[in-house]
Structure 1
Amino acid sequence: MILFGAIGLAGMAYAQAVNPILPHADPFITYDPVTSGGQYVLTATGRDITLWSGPTPATASATAHVIFTPKDGMTQTWSPTVWKMDGHWWVYFTAQMPGEKHKIYVLQSDTDDVLSTYTFKGALETGRQSIDPSLLIVGKSRYLMYVTVDSGANDIHIRKLKTPMEFDGEAALIAHPEAGWEKGEGSTRNYPVDEGPTALYHNGKTFIVFSASDTASPRYCLGLLTLTGRDPMLPTNWKKTPHPVFEWSPENGIYGPGRGTFSKAKDGSMWLLYAAKTSDAPNAARRETRAQRFTWNADDTPNFGVPEKDGPIKP
């Protein structure tokens, strides 16, 4: 939902946004400095793979561009992410083909324009039922982060990429739900979940922000992994916070905030986009995307604050 009004940012007039900014869950945002002089590109779960674009992180849902419509019986197209690699844009997403389990599928742009046409490249096989693909970049190496859902819990793995369509070596398990807040503590939805990994970088530090607890739980929340060594493939090099870093705010009417994604605005401010709902019902209905600014703590970890009330987004 977008309301248009004049606000100033770096000498330009942009549309003012209102939360929720998009009636879809599982957002992912990136920035393309080339498209229309610099646009923020947003994608999210939907039947089609859609890229929205706009001039600021909070107005990134201004214009929709459908780049892929499922065919051949493909369903459950979830959690797309979009990346610039090797002169093309690549979209990784979850989907399910008839008679098969969830897999990670890939689209490749036909040009270097993020809003160009895309070619379906097929599945990137992990050997297990997998969802929620996203990239982690450490040094010059790229790693695919994904979530396995076939062991009685949702677990986060990473695996080095040789090319956008080829793995280099085996996967490493780096996050398994152990604490009560990762298992829906305080709600009736108690399935153990660590999912939706998204990389965040600051002052030379590497973080993974992930979603914890059952997706349908009002206690769905964000947790944080910090890379403490050089090699991200070593599980012992990842330190998990003992508590959520972003969770429900009944006083502000926001429940189950998860699937965080991040962007730096042109004015230097940092933005968190996330999915949440306005009901404490134990289901995943009406999860929508919201945006708000965030800051950094003295130890360079992110300070997301609390979910803000729906309405005009604070400038």
Structure 2
Amino acid sequence: MDTPVGSLTLSAGSSDPTLVPTNNIVFGGSGSNRTVTVTPAVGQSGTATISVTVDDGQLSASTNFVLTVSASFVGTRSITNSAAITIPSQGAGTPYPSTISVSGMGGNVSNVTVTLRGLTHSWGDDIDVLLVGPGGQKVTLMSDAGTGPTASGANLTFSDGAAGMLPQTGSLVSGTYRPTDYAPTDTYPSPAPTGPYGTNLTAFNGTAPNGTWSVYVVDDGAGDQGSFAGGWSVSITTAGAAASLVAGPPALVWIENPPKITSITFDHGTIQLIVNGEVGLRYALEASRDLVNWTKLAVQDNTTGSVVFSDRPTTNAIRFYRAVSTAK
């Protein structure tokens, strides 16, 4: 007799209970449509094999899949490219762009600050600096600010939370400023993206932090030059989920309605069995003398909802039959 689907017992196991406690494997759904939800322990990372077993009290079947939990850092991380950016008397700086590669951060960006390190220049108004994020968002950090020589080795930090902007006239000195863009509107040579450009670092909020962050430096007036001798740094704060899950199949457990032998007839030594089940599946007819050792007799695809099997035993011994699903 076939066990009703609703009466089957489901159980699960984890090869790494520290990463995935057994109580964190939860079954949902009902009948022949069941799901399994796996939740890793907080703060853990690694790989675990998750096993799922179906039991009717006499027989059982199991499957398993591999779950990989990759921990990512959520919070604030500062990264520096200390290579100097040389600013010519006119044109693009070297390198152009100067880049920082970010990886291993989880969540989405919630705050960005940038520091341009070691600025020395004979005419600050000439300097234009553009920040571009991994997703293509673009923000002017400074443009056409100051007159005359800058302070020597000035460190300029840009934050939306700063009290004020860089001055339009006078020397540029170390401090924290809001992104500053005075007229006229500036353009940047390729490969910098075209405008318009924002002046709020919140343009990066909600984006993915990982990837290449780029700073494009241009001198737009002839006759003066300088450098950011200490390169630049970016400080990124993220918020949100701290782990990503990668599960091998099957992440969804589907339990089919089992095939049923609905008719057995005997005619001149031939036994005919009709098996009903789900269309599209492949069924095997198996026979046994002791309900322990089973021999596969035949295999057929169920294309109509029922399959007819025939068997012609060569002895008069007791013979048991069962129909089972088999892989195509």
Q: The TM-score by the shorter chain falls in which range? A: under 0.3
Identify the structure with bigger relative contact order (alpha carbons < 8 Å, sequence gap 6+): 2
TM-score by structure 1 length?
A: 0.21
TM-score by structure 2 length?
A: 0.21
